[in-house]
Amino acid sequence: MENFTYFELISFFYRSLFDQIRQGISIDQSIGISLDSFWDYTNQPSDLQNIIVLIESMNVEFNLTKNYRSQTIKMYKELLERISSVEFSKFMNENEIEVFQESIEVLNNEIEMFLKNS
């Protein structure tokens, strides 16, 4: 998260996603390319950037396909656990933290409902 603010990261992720789609790349491939473009392969505090990008990609995929992949859910839960000790205020302002925590809560509820109905 050192290179982007929370909202910049989300904005750039979606810009990348829509650019891929505009170029005729399939939605699945576009999600993968955009996720990979913003995925940081180093460790903390990159886990925070990675979970933000993962949440957004999961939101897109679910809204288009009404499906979550089990491996993606597993990765999300692992990242969620790893960021549990991160002090968000070092990387985000109060408003960003509120939106981020809300997005986690919403996604957790959606995953829970999805798993109950599967």
Which residue did the predictor score with more confidence, 84 or 43? Answer: 84
* pLDDT score at 42: 78
- Taking the model in full, what pTM does it have? 0.91
- Residue with structure tokens 């891929």? 20
> Model confidence over 2-24: pLDDT tens digits?
678 999 999 999 999 999 999 99
| pLDDT tops 80 at residue 26 | yes
CA 61/CA 13 separation, integer angstroms: 14
Proportion of the chain above pLDDT 70, given as a percent: 96
| DSSP helix/strand/coil, 111 | helix
pLDDT > 90: percent of the chain:
88
